[in-house]
Every structure is written in C-alpha cells, then in structure tokens.
Amino acid sequence: MRPHIVLFGDSITQQSFRSGGWGASVADTYSRKVDVVLRGYGGYNTRWALFLLNHLFPLVSEAPSPAAVTIFFGANDAALLEGTGKRQHVPLEEYKENLRKMVQHIRNCSPKTLVVLITPPPIDLDGRRVYARSIYGDKASKVADRTNEVTGTYADQCVSIAKELGLPSIDLWSKMQETHGWQTRFLSDGLHLTPEGNAVVFGELVKILDEAGFSDLPYDFPQHSEIDEENPASSFAQVCAV
C-alpha cells in the first residue's frame, strides 16, 4: 500500500484539487509513490475541526497511519466578531490551543507522521468588498468580515506553535506579501487562492516533503520500461510476494 498524505483544512484545502490547485499538484508530483487524501471542510474553524479528529485519524485502526498531514486552518478563526463571519470566529489563544490538540492527536496516532502547519493567507480588504458586492449587490455588508492585520496575528500563532512543537510550517501570510501585487496575483476574492496563489503553497510544501525524503520513495510497481516482455511475471515477483 502506498503511503498517504492527508490534507486537512478549510475551504482553501477543499478547493485544492481544482484545476491548478496545490493539492492536485502534490498528488501529481508524487503520483505512483504516495496517495494524497483530501480532507478539506469549507467554512470550518479549528473549534469545529476538533470534532473530526477521531473520525479522520482514529487512535485504533488497522489501516496504516498517514506519512504526512498538513493542517491548514485559521482563515475562518480570524473572522471578526463584528462582521458577517462572526459565527466562525475563534479567539486567538483558543486557536493556538486547538492547533496544539490537533498535532497531539496525530502524534498519538503515529509519532512518525510528519505534520506541517500552514498559516492562513493574507487578506485583501478591497478584494473581499468586491466579492461581497458581486454576490449580494447593494445588500452587501459594509463591515469587513476579516482584516489582514488580525489574520496576521493568527498566522504568527500558527508559526509559534509549530516552533514550540518542533514542526515545519509554511508562513503563507508573510510569504505572499513579499510579492508586489499579491492582492490580485495570489487571491481570487481577497481570501481564496488563484492558480498562482496555489502554486505558492505547492512550492513551499514540496520543499518540506522533499527534505523529508518523499521524492526518494520508490514507485509502487515497476515502470513499463523495466518489465521483461519475455517473462513479465519475473518483473512483479518481488512486489507481489510482499
């Protein structure tokens, strides 16, 4: 059985298997070596995601534990209490503790699983307003649902807990803002990712996975060029005997 990489997160993860998505790119990069399992839940925050842990990562299971898990939450936790996303808001300290609980649960399942924390992306307030007007017209709320400054504090806590627990992390909030015009280059609606935004996540994640040895994993079965055309059974003898 191939190793598994589980992508666990909110809508930015849920959408990652769309055309140009970062999850689809990871699956393509490690095709025939690793199975990439999508577990993205649009609109979820870390508080709600905790209820999924025992279902997605059971402590007692005959199935092998995932080789790696990405945890990509925070965009909804950082929703403002006075905005339209207030029901999704999670206080900053609770967000940090929820990430800690997720990591501890996965480590209890398998201490060898590589866990990667990913911060929420930056927020473009103008992009959010344009998006809201495109959906609700004149009825669109004039109160911001998120701000870049507040989201940045959640990103900081995500990076902080990763350092505390000795985990690799991707500071997407900072990384994207290093590029001029990030607001429209990387974000489609002030929050979710364009193909170029997806490429940033993919590029940063593959660096971590390759450093962990994923690029060196063997193919599950022989390449077609390696199959003995006269005696094909001999080419599968070893893998079929395992």
- The chain-wide mean pLDDT, for the chain, equals 94
DSSP state, 146? Answer: -
Whether the Cβ atoms of residue 33 and residue 220 lie closer than 8 Å to each other: yes
Q: For residue 185, which phi and psi values (nearest 5 degrees)? A: -70, -40
In the block, tokens 């992508």 appear at: 7
- Rounded Cα distance, 168 and 117, in Å: 7
Residue 25: active-site member: no
pLDDT in tens, 51-107: 999 999 998 888 889 999 999 999 999 999 998 889 999 999 999 999 999 999 999
- Rounded Cα distance, 231 and 175, in Å: 52
- Report how far apart, in Å, the C-alpha atoms of 204 and of each of 57, 140, 170 are: 25, 35, 7
pLDDT at 60: 83
